[in-house]
Structure 1
Amino acid sequence: MKDTPKARPRREGPAQARSIATREKLVETALDTIFALGYRSASTPEVVARAGVSRGALLHHFPARSDLIVAAMEKLLGDGTEEIRATAAKVARQEVSLDEFVEFLWQLFSGRFFYLSLEFINEARTDADLRARMIPVVKDFHAALDGIWCEFEKQAEGAGEPTRTALNLTVCLVRGMGVQTVLKDDPAYFRRMLDVWKTILPQLLQGRDTLR
């Protein structure tokens, strides 16, 4: 009996590769446009002009503005999720200290990623369709954060929920500070709070009974 020949992997042709590249460019440009102008001002004509593609190319990939917006949101949160998972792996290998983890969160929640997230979150408050499409992606994002919590819990000798509470407090802190940066341009102010929290956090983890 002859062996069934294995199917050869399909190779992308030049046209398909160009189509994929165009789609990725439109998504990245949409994010750049939202970051520069805000959600409401990021019109499809503006995205097309910035991306340097035809309107037909846009409509081929994204028939409606909402399709482009959701793809951009998924790209943003997907990239953030991958970055968090990579950090969780470093925590597992004990390559990231608690101080470095706090710094990582601060960078994540005080830069482009966070400001773009705010644009989507604010719009989702009154847009039920966008909110429904965001929820599963946001769940993946928080699941990745939970992966970091689990690694710290292992290092804290099975501290469990108290450790998770302390780390969630850290996220709430840097998220609130990130919102403040919109109206308060004072890096020294935020640096002082981070330094103080870096002193408090190990004490919380060591005195876990206070968090029960």
Structure 2
Amino acid sequence: MAEQPARRRRTQSERREATQAAVLDTALEILATEGYVAFASSGVAARAGISRGALEHYYPRKIDLIAAACHHAIERSVAEAREAAASPDMAGDPVGTFLSASERFFFAPAYAAQIELLIAARADRALAGVIHPIVLDARRRLDDVWTEVLIRLGQEAAVARRYVDLSHVLMRGLYLAETWLPQGDEREKIIAQWRDASRALLASGL
């Protein structure tokens, strides 16, 4: 039997990055499932399996942890959008690929965490000062990914941007409706109807 190659030991930098990613994923999970009111650095540390002191070494304040978790979620979401936009499916079915990727983003735990923070930020100016720029940057970057690929596939720039904006408004509304006003399988039906209408809307120039 051939010997298995020895597994490479992770460097200190790699271990640190893995620990930080685990902490930030845990922070997002708590925000999404338990809300901002229940969010505390001590709870994140306990669930992530590290000491409070270790967590505070990376994120001294609760607001630092929240900001880092938001940036972490955004970078991952933008990377996933770029991967979907570059897939072979995009050329064959750009509307379907875009709407499927958008649905995954708006109905993922990271977006639920974002909504929790935006609601809390209405009464917390310090939180708003941190969260609002991050959310606006995420919206711009994600919109740009999809607008640019639709332009490459032949759409006029203004039409592509307007379509992406309208689609994301729809997804936000569906998320909020499904979260607070559950309506069974309405989301699937509405997205399918929007997908069918999209081709005619894009062809007509909106």
One fold, TM greater than 0.5? yes
Structure 1 130/201 Cα, relative in aligned 2: closer, same or farther at 3 Å? Answer: same
Query: Given the alignment of the two structures, is residue 110 of structure 1 paired with residue 107 of structure 2, yes or no?
Result: yes
Q: Which moved more, 1:137-146 or 1:64-73?
A: 137-146
Q: Aligned-pair distance for 1:14?
A: 5.0
Query: Given the alignment of the two structures, is residue 26 of structure 1 paired with residue 23 of structure 2, yes or no?
Result: yes
Q: Aligned-pair distance for 1:163?
A: 2.9
Query: Given the alignment of the two structures, is residue 94 of structure 1 paired with residue 91 of structure 2, yes or no?
Result: yes
Query: Given the alignment of the two structures, is residue 127 of structure 1 paired with residue 124 of structure 2, yes or no?
Result: yes
Q: Which moved more, 1:108-117 or 1:138-147?
A: 138-147
Q: Aligned-pair distance for 1:129?
A: 3.0
Query: Given the alignment of the two structures, is residue 177 of structure 1 paired with residue 174 of structure 2, yes or no?
Result: yes
Structure 1 86/95 Cα, relative in aligned 2: closer, same or farther at 3 Å? Answer: farther
Structure 1 67/98 Cα, relative in aligned 2: closer, same or farther at 3 Å? Answer: same
Query: Given the alignment of the two structures, is residue 194 of structure 1 paired with residue 191 of structure 2, yes or no?
Result: yes
SS at match of 2:129: helix
Q: Aligned-pair distance for 1:90?
A: 2.9
Task: Name structure 2 gaps, 5 residues minimum.
Answer: 1-8
Distance in 2, matches of 1:188 and 1:113, equals 22
Alignment coverage as a number of residue pairs: 197
Which of the pair has more CA radius of gyration?
A: 1
Structure 1 163/106 Cα, relative in aligned 2: closer, same or farther at 3 Å? Answer: same
In the alignment, which residue of structure 2 is the partner of 1:6?
A: none
Q: Which moved more, 1:121-130 or 1:163-172?
A: 121-130
Q: Which moved more, 1:97-106 or 1:73-82?
A: 97-106
TM-score under structure 2 normalisation? 0.83
Code of the residue aligned with 1:164 in structure 2: it is R
Q: Aligned-pair distance for 1:172?
A: 0.6
Distance in 2, matches of 1:172 and 1:104, equals 14
Match of 1:154 among 152, 155, 177: 152
State the identity %. Answer: 25
| Cα RMSD for the two superposed structures | 2.5
Q: Aligned-pair distance for 1:115?
A: 0.9
Runs of 4+ aligned residues of structure 1 deviating over 6 Å after TM superposition are none
